Every structure is written in structure tokens, then in C-alpha cells.
Amino acid sequence: MVGVIGARVGVAWPYLMMARRVLPGVPFIFDTVDLHHLREEREAQLSENPAHAVRARTTRELELAFIRAADATFVVSPFEKELLGSVVPGARVFVVPTVHAVRQEPVSAVGRDGMVFVGSFAHPPNADAIRWFLVEVLPLVRESLPHIGVTVVGRDAPPDVRALADEGVTFAGWVADLEDVYGRARVAIAPLRYGAGLKGKVGEAMSYGVPVVGTSVAVEGMQIEHGATGWIADDARAFAEGIVTLHRNDELWARVSEAGRSHVEELLGTLAFERRLRAALSEIGLDAGDPDVLRQAPDASSVGAGSGAAGG
């Protein structure tokens, strides 16, 4: 039996009725990618902008209506499944996470220096994250590491963001292959103040063995343990402390690097993704088909590299 998968509420909504009409009886699966209304609600709380609050409420009603209408819904983390369980208790919701091909080569701190941020600036949380980082966090880091560099990867950084940077901050724009970027970086930063879903920038950096310093929002749903598989901080001083500590402590860097790689492989690796997807499709009543099809599909890491940004 075949099924239809529609991804992102704003894109998929018009096709639900079409699929029902043209393919009666064929299951329609809604792939949220992330819960858009949750991201917008957090933005509204942060900005205290009434227009943002109205937009978030509109998106929430649309997204929840779509979840009720679909035969099944995919979310990327147990956190989002639990959230939907409390507001749409009758919905069939399955966790199908993002996927990253973990690099198996040994990773070392030798020769590494500086920070990297990866994210498209078409995604508003990324611009907000870098503004906060450059204004609130970087000056604190420079008190201990005055010459540390920051590489910002992603399309179309806004002029006001660029204006906040000093000579130690490089805006690399779109990068075709992130191998070299992650190969040089000592730390990956994810200073997101709002968002939803699993953050590709976090899983991707960990898959390369680069320790991540991120906020609670950035690591949400990824089961990252502070000080073991990453560094979690929500205030500027603690965020800066994580960056400085991971630059100065080679032993801690090595432990977090290796533990992070193992963790992302177990949680978001190709086999873990395939197992969860097959289980979800089977429960919906669909056949996943040839096992090699899923193994050959592009993973989130390769997509992120091609866009020069890992999205959320």
C-alpha cells in the first residue's frame, strides 16, 4: 500500500484535500518538520510583539487542525510528541527524527581554534541568535580569549547583524562543503533563543565530533547531557564559560567530542532513523519497501552541507 507525505503545514495544507479526492483511502501523513506554532509562540514571548502573538495563534490552529485531519503525524522528538499528546490526544503521532551520517575518522583537538555557527538567515531564529551572541556573549569570551575567531556560515546575513561584528568575526556566506569548516573549528555554537524541532546545526556539528555549546532551546529533544555530550547554557556568562572551557581543556574537549559523536549516532544515525521510520510506516499500515532505498536516501548532514546552513 502507498501513502502520501506532506511536509510543513504551510506547504502541505492545500494538498490534503487534493489527496483525499484523487487518492481516496490512501493514508496522508503530515511531516511537521518542526512544530511551527511552538517556534512562533516562543518568538512572540521573546519579542512581546502583539502581531507575533496573533500569527502564532493562527499557525497553531492551522497546524492542530491539520494534525487532526491527517491519518498520522511525524514529529522529530519525544518532546514534541508529548506536547501534541496533551493538546490533540486522539492523533496518531510518531517520532521520526532527523538523520546524520556520523564521521568515523578519529577526531582531535590539535590544530583547532575558534567557533563556528551554521544557519540560514532566511530562518529568523538564526539572526536573533547571532545578534544575541555578538552583543552579549562574545565580549565575555574575549575577556579570556581576546583573539578567538568566529566563522558564521549561512546565506544573507542581515546588515544589522554584520554591523555588530568586529574583525574577528568572518561571515562566510553559503559554503558548498562544511567538511573543512568543521575540521578547523574547536567549538560549534548554537545560541538560539527560540525555535522548535531538532536543530540540524547541533546534530551536524556533533556528527563531525565538534563539541556544541548551545541553549536549552537549541538542544531540545536531543537528550544532551550538560558537560558530557555538550554544554548547555541559557545566560551569556555561562555560555561564554562553556566556549572558554572547551578551548582550554583538551581532556574535556576530547570526552565531549567522542561522547557527542556516539550519542548522535545512537539517536540520529542512519540505522536509528531507518528503524524508527520503518516502525512508524508499519504501524500506519504501509510497506517501507526495499531496505536499500532508505539507506541510499540523502541524510540531513549532506542536505545541510549543500545549503551552507543546517536550518533550525
Percent of the chain topping pLDDT 70? 92
Entry pTM: 0.88
Tracing cell 539572526 back to the chain, one arrives at 127
pLDDT for the residue numbered 239: 98
Is the pLDDT at 130 greater than 80? The verdict is yes
pLDDT for the residue numbered 309: 40
- For residues 7-22, average pLDDT: 89
> Which are the contacts of 134, defined by CB distance < 8 A and separation ≥ 6?
161, 164, 165, 169
Mean pLDDT over each residue of the chain, to the nearest integer:
90
CA distance 301 to 119: 13
CB pairs under 8 A, 24+ apart, for 59-65?
Answer: 59/9, 62/9, 62/13, 62/37, 63/9, 63/32, 63/35, 63/36, 63/37, 64/37, 64/88
Is the pLDDT at 298 greater than 50? The verdict is no
Is the pLDDT at 292 greater than 60? The verdict is no
| DSSP-assigned states of every residue in the chain | ---EEEESHHHHHHHHHHHHHHSTT--EEEE-SS-HHHHHHHHHHHHT-HHHHHHHHHHHHHHHHHHHHSSEEEESSHHHHHHHHHHSTTS-EEE---------S----TT--SEEEE--TTSHHHHHHHHHIIIIIHHHHHHH-TT--EEEESS---HHHHHT--TTEEEEE--S--HHHHHH-SEEEE--SS--S--HHHHHHHHTT--EEE-HHHHTTS-PPBTTTBEE--SHHHHHHHHHHHHH-HHHHHHHHHHHHHHHHHHHSHHHHHHHHHHHHHHHT-----HHHHHHSPPHHHHHHHHTS---
- For residues 43-68, average pLDDT: 96
At 289, the pLDDT band (50, 70, 90 cuts) reads low
pLDDT for the residue numbered 104: 78
What is the chain's length?
Answer: 312
CB 42 within 8 A of CB 196: yes
Q: Grid coordinates standing for 54?
A: 496573533
250-269 pLDDT tens trace: 999 999 999 999 999 999 99
- For residues 225-247, average pLDDT: 98
Question: What residues are paired with 116 via a beta bridge?
Answer: 151, 188
Q: Grid coordinates standing for 109?
A: 583537538
Q: Of 270, 307, 309, 274, give the one whose Cα is nearest residue 103.
A: 270
At 288, the pLDDT band (50, 70, 90 cuts) reads low
| DSSP-assigned states of every residue in 122-135 | TSHHHHHHHHHIII
- For residues 35-42, average pLDDT: 96
pLDDT for the residue numbered 13: 85
58-91 pLDDT tens trace: 999 999 999 999 999 999 999 999 999 999 999 9
pLDDT for the residue numbered 307: 32
CB 71 within 8 A of CB 284: yes
Task: Give the CATH number of domain 115-266.
Answer: 3.40.50.2000
pLDDT for the residue numbered 1: 62
Question: What residues are paired with 153 via a beta bridge?
Answer: 118, 173
Is the pLDDT at 21 greater than 70? The verdict is yes
Q: Domain residue spans in the chain?
A: 4-95, 115-266
| DSSP-assigned states of every residue in 139-202 | HHHHHH-TT--EEEESS---HHHHHT--TTEEEEE--S--HHHHHH-SEEEE--SS--S--HHH
90-115 pLDDT tens trace: 999 999 999 998 887 879 999 999 99
CA distance 210 to 254: 9
pLDDT for the residue numbered 302: 33
> Which are the contacts of 163, defined by CB distance < 8 A and separation ≥ 6?
none
